[in-house]
């Protein structure tokens, strides 16, 4: 356990005027309250609150936050009360401790409806005093650092909750160091083999490339000395999870990943930031499309920095972040910089945002959302999204998530403009509505009277605001049609479990699902925003065992007529979770294609054959075959390890064909049976992390469709 003197030394280093007497009293009170309590590791329980306080002291936070950390579990786990804490330490600290207690009691990994409501409560807690969230994040960080003492199933639950909620929340608040550590600690639990494989391969790379970080750091310092720029250069390798995520996003193996080194350049002034950027770009080649200026266009949490990627020594790509020391303080602590102390005074960092304004701007986007699923989607989109900055024709700045389109831009301006959109111009040129907006572009929306939102916009829009507005409009436009389709789905699903889809049953489902009427339930079913499994589970949970959640092939696709059957297209092998369309064939039913399948261009002139389809929600069985093109090293035991890794992911190998044999490698086509697209990503990710897998990609071959393109209407 950290002694009180060590904690006080940490605090005095940045706040010599700290109220030592009060902190000592909180330390002693917490120790007495937790006396006789022990952690899973066998340590005294009070070692945990002290460690949380030390983490917050490392962020130079105020006394109230430190004392709250020392007492944060007392109301929940001991005989201490709110009144006692208020009497001893004041109302401010009592309110903070009570806020952390309420936040701890939220079951953030529960069902989607409860999770959405819990996010609302979380934002409410943040809006009252954000220091509550800072204590909770530090609490989660220490729990993750000591998670090995928990039961394996508890570790997995906590790790997933950390990855889904707390890590992105820390990132959204600008606390990138905490986000990275939380992600890596959770990654170690969720996929320890993949993490270990990345570390092994990274160590091998380090040995082969010698001290690449030291050499590049020296090169940068030399360039700055020549230019007369005072700057500190910090180099580091990226965290294992960061590398893993990049491998997934770019769908490449470790051997092809180049930018795994990052460098931070800290200057005295903003002018020096741009001078340092010039020196870097004069010395090394800048990588096109990898430049962002968050100094001129800061993020909403106050983050400011210049980002660029250059080709360094031996052609290796390195990421470079350039910012001043004050900007760095905000980049490290995010909105917590508002409470930071330096030399006994509240530090006046001009770049720190006002937490009250920040949280008000964040919650404003979600207040209008009545639907739980849409609220949750909006929250997660906002928390995970990186930003791009674009301009209206009048020069006003609009902030959107990365990957946003003119549809998102239109709805960001006003819902009425979004509904009436018929086209867009970017930098004066007419572009399709699905065009991705880039930083610094000027966007103009073209509208027309009488225009209404199209269902295809849901595949184009990225922001939660746009998607929820489109859904609401489409529900009104297509409500009658969706109610009829929903009734058919409900009737079949209720019959399947021996029940009748009566008005009373559907009204009961509406109450349990927080909807106003039974028609709302049917409309959601018909629009594929609600699954029959969710409806049945709301009324008859006892009839819905785990295995009943698997969706049979006869119910797998929504949008078919009663007499229509379907086959998956061989060319693209679509999986549940992917956007799909159907092509009708005479005598063959419907062939389902992925929306991005190249073969669909053959039917552009036959719109009457197209069907708008959706995969049914819920859990699908692992029966959908997908082909992988895998290149592996020709070595003893490699094939066995590959098969074992696939099996561990609960995927079945249905066929395996050798495409090419060379002395040093084999190329295979491996056919595996999967549940959905997430199952596929899991299998590919695990195989990519294996040392002996040189390359892997999903095999999509338009030639396979040759036999399926005979005329059919």
Helices 240-250, 192-209: inter-axial angle, 10-degree rounding = 100
Sign of the CA dihedral with 475 first, then 476, 477, and 480 last: positive
Active site residue ranges: 76-77
Helices 82-89, 63-71: inter-axial angle, 10-degree rounding = 150
Q: Where are the alpha helices (DSSP H) in 228-269?
A: 240-250
Tokens standing for 609?
């054959």
Tokens standing for 567?
């086959």
Angle at 184 between CA 351 and CA 318, to 5 degrees: 65
First to last CA, the chain: 76
Long-range contacts made by residues 705-712, C-beta under 8 angstroms, separation at least 24?
705/569, 705/570, 705/571, 705/599, 708/569, 708/570, 708/571, 708/585, 708/591, 709/599, 709/602, 710/585, 711/586, 712/583, 712/584, 712/585, 712/586, 712/587, 712/588, 712/609
Closest CA to 154 of 143, 165, 164: 143
Other Cβ atoms within 10 Å of 87 Cβ, number: 11
β-bridge partners, 446? 423
Question: Is 308 within 8 Å of 280 (Cβ atoms)?
Answer: yes
Q: For the residues of 537-583, what is the DSSP string, one character each?
A: HHH-GGG--GGGGBPPGGGSEES--TT--EEE-TTT---TTS-EEEE
Q: What are phi and psi of 628, to 5 degrees?
A: -115, 140
C-alpha torsion angle, residues 697, 703, 707, 712 (rounded to 10)? 100
Closest CA to 465 of 556, 551, 401, 538: 401
Q: Is residue 251 packed enough to be buried (19+ CB in 10 Å), middle (13-18) or exposed (0-12)? A: middle
Q: CA-CA distance, 513 to 535, in Å (whole number)?
A: 8
Specify the pairing of strand 306-311 against strand 292-293.
antiparallel
Q: CA-CA distance, 496 to 549, in Å (whole number)?
A: 12
Q: Is residue 68 packed enough to be buried (19+ CB in 10 Å), middle (13-18) or exposed (0-12)? A: buried
Question: Is 74 within 8 Å of 96 (Cβ atoms)?
Answer: no
Q: CA-CA distance, 498 to 89, in Å (whole number)?
A: 61
Q: CA-CA distance, 497 to 570, in Å (whole number)?
A: 33
């Amino acid at each position: 356990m950290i002694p009180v003197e060590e904690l006080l030394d940490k605090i005095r280093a940045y706040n010599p005027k700290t109220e030592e007497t009060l902190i000592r009293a909180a330390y002693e009170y917490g120790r007495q309250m937790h006396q006789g309590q022990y952690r899973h590791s066998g340590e005294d329980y009070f070692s945990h609150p002290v460690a949380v306080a030390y983490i917050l002291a490392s962020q130079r936070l105020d006394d109230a936050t430190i004392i709250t950390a020392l007492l944060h579990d007392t109301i929940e786990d001991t005989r201490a009360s709110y009144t006692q804490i208020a009497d001893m330490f004041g109302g401010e600290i009592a309110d903070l401790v009570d806020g952390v207690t309420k936040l701890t009691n939220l079951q953030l990994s529960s069902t989607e409806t409860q999770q959405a409501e819990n996010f609302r409560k979380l934002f409410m807690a943040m809006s009252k005093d954000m220091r509550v969230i800072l204590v909770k994040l530090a609490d989660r960080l220490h729990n993750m650092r000591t998670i090995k003492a928990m039961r394996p199933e508890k570790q997995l639950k906590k790790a997933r909750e950390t990855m889904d909620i707390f890590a992105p929340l820390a990132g959204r608040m600008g606390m990138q160091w905490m986000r990275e550590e939380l992600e890596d600690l959770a990654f170690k639990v969720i996929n320890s083999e993949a993490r270990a494989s990345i570390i092994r391969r990274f160590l091998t790379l380090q040995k082969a490339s010698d001290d690449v970080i030291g050499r590049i750091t020296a090169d940068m310092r030399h360039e700055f000395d020549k230019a007369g720029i005072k700057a500190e250069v910090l180099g580091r390798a990226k965290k294992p999870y960061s590398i893993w995520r990049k491998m997934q996003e770019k769908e490449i193996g470790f051997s092809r990943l180049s930018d795994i080194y990052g460098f931070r350049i800290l200057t005295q002034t903003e002018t020096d930031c741009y001078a340092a950027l010039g020196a870097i770009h004069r010395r090394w080649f800048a990588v096109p499309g990898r430049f962002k200026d968050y100094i001129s266009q800061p993020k909403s949490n106050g983050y400011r920095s210049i980002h660029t990627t250059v080709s360094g020594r031996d052609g290796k790509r390195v990421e470079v972040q350039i910012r001043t020391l004050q900007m760095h303080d905000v980049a490290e602590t995010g909105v917590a910089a508002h409470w930071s102390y330096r030399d006994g005074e509240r530090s006046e960092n001009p770049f720190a945002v006002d937490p009250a304004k920040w949280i008000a701007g964040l919650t404003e986007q979600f207040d209008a959302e009545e639907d739980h699923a849409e609220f949750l989607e909006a929250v997660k989109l906002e928390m995970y999204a990186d930003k791009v900055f674009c301009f209206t024709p009048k020069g006003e700045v609009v902030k959107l998530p990365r990957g946003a389109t003119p549809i998102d831009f239109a709805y960001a301006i006003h819902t009425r403009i979004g509904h009436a959109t018929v086209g867009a111009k970017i930098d004066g040129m007419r572009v399709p509505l699905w065009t991705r907006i880039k930083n610094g572009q000027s966007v103009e929306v073209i509208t027309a009277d009488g225009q209404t939102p199209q269902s295809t916009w849901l595949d184009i829009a990225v922001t939660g605001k746009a998607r929820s507005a489109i859904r609401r409009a489409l529900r009104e436009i297509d409500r009658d049609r969706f109610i009829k389709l929903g009734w058919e789905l409900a009737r079949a699903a209720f019959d399947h479990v021996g029940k009748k889809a009566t008005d009373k049953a559907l009204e009961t489902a509406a109450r349990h699902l927080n909807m106003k009427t039974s028609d709302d339930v049917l409309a959601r079913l018909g629009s594929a925003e609600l699954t029959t499994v969710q409806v049945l589970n709301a009324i008859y949970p006892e009839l819905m065992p785990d295995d009943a959640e698997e969706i049979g092939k006869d119910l797998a696709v929504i949008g078919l007529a009663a007499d229509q059957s379907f086959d998956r297209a061989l060319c693209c092998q679509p999986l549940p979770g992917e956007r799909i369309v159907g092509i009708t064939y005479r005598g063959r039913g419907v062939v389902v294609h992925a929306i991005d399948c190249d073969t669909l261009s053959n039917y552009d002139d036959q719109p009457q054959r197209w069907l708008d389809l959706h995969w049914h929600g819920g859990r699908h069985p692992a029966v959908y075959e997908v082909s992988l093109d895998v290149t592996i090293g020709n070595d003893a035991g490699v094939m066995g390890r590959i098969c074992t890794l696939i099996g561990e992911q609960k995927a079945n190998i249905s066929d395996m064909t050798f495409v090419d044999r060379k002395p040093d490698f084999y190329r295979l086509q491996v056919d595996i049976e999967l549940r959905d697209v997430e199952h596929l990503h899991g299998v590919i990710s695990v195989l990519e992390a294996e040392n002996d897998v040189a390359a892997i990609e999903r095999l999509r071959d338009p030639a396979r469709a040759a036999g399926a393109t005979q005329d059919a209407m």
